[in-house]
Structure 1
Amino acid sequence: MKSIFHIGKYYSPFKGGIENFMQHLMVSQCKSRHRVMAMVHHHQPGLPFSQSEEEGIQILRLPILTKLVFVPLALTARRYFRQYIIQESPDVLHLHMPNVSCFWLLFLSEAKRIPWVIHWHSDVLGAAPDWKVKFLYPLYRIFEKALLRRANAIIVTSPAYLESSSALADFTHKCVVIPLGIEDLPTSAPKPVRQQDAPLKLLCIGRLTYYKGHDYLLSAIKTLQAQGRAVHLTLVGSGELAASIKSRLNKDGLADIVTMKSELSDQQVASELYECDVLCLPSIERTEAFGVVLLEAMRAAKPCIVTDVPGSGMSWVVQHGKTGLVVKAADANSLANAIAEFDLNREMLFTMGKTGRARYVSYFTVDRVASEIDGLYERVAFESRQ
């Protein structure tokens, strides 16, 4: 049995791909009889430090003063890190990056006595970063490099991301590729393929923000509507673009064939996946480092349409022509053509969905991923004793 101390940005009930993965991973580690705890931030300012046990995991939530450039500011993080590292004496610190609070560990002698594993979920700078992020990154990079130098190992989620990450270029000797994974669910009977005259049901799940590429997907839907194709798109998510997307639906006459939903429970999201024909993830930059929602779709035996963003793991998770279709990024016509291809050949929905489910079972179950990570813990613990 190991004592594992995860340090993350947020945790459930906050919804996000990293948060979903952390939860699935830690539950799996608990089932393997490890002692697991996590220190994360409250996702709302003004809440006091809290401690709770959820699914056998000790969850410590840090108070935050505010959020600055998408970053939760936890001024008491150093004190709580020190207190719980001394109290719990963990065997390994598992740092989920990016996360500014992790920088406090650089100033704690107690933390430096413990092996560190960094889980590199994404670079801070995307292809078109917010100007405030770009301005502050040189300062952030000083601490980021210090953290990477101190790490015993760095987990990267796909070969493509490792090859393209400039932030990791000097540290590839520490990097190991381990994909993300999610817990399997009892499988239901596959939903029968819809009749050719029934609307093709598309689903897009994710935060309503610029890099998710919703504009291109909506343009593709408008093109298909003009061609007379019967399609229906459900957008699941919330974010800063919600109002502008809703306005566009009304302006472009798409309100009848595009439905927006937000604040869905896990069970409701699973129901949306079961009811859909195809999952679309039209992201336009490598801020979309992996796409956990793709695993959710593959688990449900649904094919996916993704974009070929250089450096992103999307086109590695989804195999073109086998488990879905990979199309040109930021290209509405390519998206429209892929959707039309599924519409014309409904049997592809079943065959690619079935192959996707098999790929998920072979590579992306959380128990398999947790086993690989456990092996990494063993290696860094051994090397740190030498």
Structure 2
Amino acid sequence: MRVLHFYKTYRSESYGGIEQTIYQLCKCSSASGIESEVLTLSDNPDPAELMYEGHKVHRVKLDLQIASTGFSFTALKRFAQLAAEVDIVHYHFPWPFMDLAHFVTRMNKPSVVTYHSDIVRYKTLLQLYRPLMHRFLDSVDAIVATSPNYLQTSSVLAGYRDKTQVIPIGLDKDNYPAPSATRMEEWRKRIGPRFFLFVGVIRYYKGLHILLDAARGTDYPIVIVGAGPIEQELKRRADEQGLRNVIFLGTVSDEDKAALLQLSYAIVFPSHLRSEAFGISLLEGAMYGKPMISSEIGTGTSYINNHGETGLVVPPSDPEAFRQAMQQLWDNPGQVQAMGTRAQARYQKLFTARLMGESYATLYRDVLAMHGQTETQVSLGT
């Protein structure tokens, strides 16, 4: 069975949560007999086609960006060509140009949409886009929400309960490098034996200003890994507040990230807006057996981090509550160890890439059946 994933960016150039989800799906689906390909946009699509860790990535020229939406004239023709060759088209929402491409090319293959997030930031433009969005969601065969929390709280998904199922995002720890003993020791010497860790792209909805406010008056190390649009603004804020215990590392290698996850005391994840629909870096912490501190925003973050079991969940945009949660974990190493153990067990039960791949393979077969096809038929090209 051949599946085409369609999204505006991909991990070969960009490392956000949706890109990571597509990557994990491409890697884990092969065990279920699925051949995955990706079509994405690029500032410099040379080469136009490449192999990325075992799967094919097709790249077309990004022509312009409007409100975080990439547009490409050549993508329409390429999408039509590739969709004709595969058995299922797998869309990743939100990306309004994708909806447009679906209708302009008159795509008629079995289709699945992973609904990663509501559109939160561009409320005025959303009003203009809403008719196209609903027409698109009406037209696809199946919709996937990444957590029961998001399905329950999304006003958009409320209108599609009959065609929506929950498949949580999963990770495969084997895809993460094992850091060398030398690298581990280097980080121990540089940061110390205990530290809180944040990992992620530094965007407006990550709530890092809340974390900085929570750090005031404390002395435990807080390490921030990642880069992004508001990175310099946050660094200035930390300097103005005299936060010598906050360490900005910027972008690090995969080996260094794995080392920091392994060495960290606990994960801090202060995202305060629904734009944070799941929280893959939060899940990475659980995968490494770390307790978590996150905010209750009605999304997948509170599905990963179950309050009192795997960590602590506090009200959003509340630096004092976040500070108290950090203090509680800092002062109670036994609780930290127990929560970390339970976090890792929850990951193993609900969030492995193997489970995600098997769940999507079942969904793909169900969608083919809606069109009167079987997996055997598509494999034989009949």
Report deviation, 1:216: 1.1
Stretch of structure 1 that moved more, 63-72 or 278-287: 63-72
Match status 1:108 vs 2:113: no
Q: 2:156 aligns with which of 161, 167, 189?
A: 167
Distance 2:346 2:123 in 1: 37
In structure 2, distance between residues paired with 1:210 and 1:247: 15
Checking the alignment, whether the CA contact within 8 Å between 2:177 and 2:254 is kept in structure 1 is: no
CA contact (8 A) 1:48 1:63 kept: no
Say yes or no: does 1:293 pair with 2:281. Answer: yes
Asked if residue 57 in structure 1 is aligned to residue 55 in structure 2, the reply is yes
The alpha carbon displacement at 1:21 in A equals 1.4
Distance 1:319 1:167 in 2: 25
**SS, match of residue 278 in structure 2:** coil
For the residues of structure 2 that align with 1:117 and 1:47, how far apart are their CA atoms? 26
Conserved 8 A contact 1:214-1:282: yes
Asked whether the equivalents of residues 4 and 82 of structure 2 are also in contact (C-alpha less than 8 Å), the reply is no
CA displacement at 1:324 relative to structure 2: 0.7
| TM-score between both structures, scaled by the size of structure 1 | 0.89
Residues 283-328 of structure 1 deviation map (CA, whole Å, 9 limit, x = unaligned): 111111110112111111111101011x211112111111111111
Paired residue for 2:41?
Answer: 41
Distance change >3 Å, CA 200–CA 221, structure 1 → 2: farther
Number of residue pairs matched?
A: 360
1:91 partnered with 2:87? yes
SS at match of 1:138: helix
Paired residues for 1:239-258 under 5 Å: 239-254=228-243, 256-258=244-246
Whole-angstrom distance in 2 between the partners of 1:169 and 1:188: 42
Name the residue aligned to 2:145. 156
CA distance in 2, matches of 1:102, 1:19: 15
Q: Take 1:40 and 1:362, find their aligned partners in 2: how far apart are those partners?
A: 32
| Cα shift at 1:107 | 2.4
Percent identical among aligned pairs is 30
State the alpha-carbon separation in 1 of the partners of residues 124 and 47 from structure 2: 31
SS at match of 2:289: coil
2:371 match: secondary structure: helix
Amino acid in structure 1 at the alignment position of 2:111: W
> Which residue matches 2:377?
none
**Alpha-carbon distance, 1:49 to partner:** 6.7
CA distance in 2, matches of 1:3, 1:220: 48
Measured after TM superposition, the shift of residue 82 of structure 1 is: 1.2
Aligned to 2:112: 117
Check whether the contact 1:30–1:57 (CA below 8 A) recurs between aligned residues: no
Q: Report whether the alignment pairs 1:312 with 2:307.
A: no
1:283 aligns with 2:271: yes
Deviations 1:54-103 (A, max 9, x none): 222110112101222111121221111112223x2x11111011122322
Asked whether the 8 Å contact 1:212–1:283 carries over to 2, the reply is yes
Q: Answer yes or no: is 1:341 the counterpart of 2:328.
A: yes
Q: Unaligned 5+ residue runs, structure 1?
A: none
The aligned amino acid for 1:78 is: L
Q: Do the aligned residues in 2 keep the contact of 1:199 with 1:231 (CA within 8 Å)?
A: no
Greater CA drift, 261-270 or 57-66: 261-270
Matched, 1:11 2:5: no
The unaligned stretches of length 5 or more in structure 2 are 374-382
TM norm structure 2 = 0.89
* Distance in structure 1 (CA, Å) of the matches to 2:331 and 2:313: 17
Q: In structure 2, do the counterparts of structure 1 residues 335 and 200 end up closer, same or farther at CA, with 3 Å as the change threshold?
A: farther
Query: Shift in Å at residue 199 of structure 1?
Result: 6.8
Report the alpha carbon displacement of residue 150 of structure 1 after superposing the two structures with TM: 0.7
The 3-state SS of whatever aligns with 1:26 is helix
Question: How far off its partner does 1:33 sit?
Answer: 3.1
Give how far 1:366 is off: 0.6
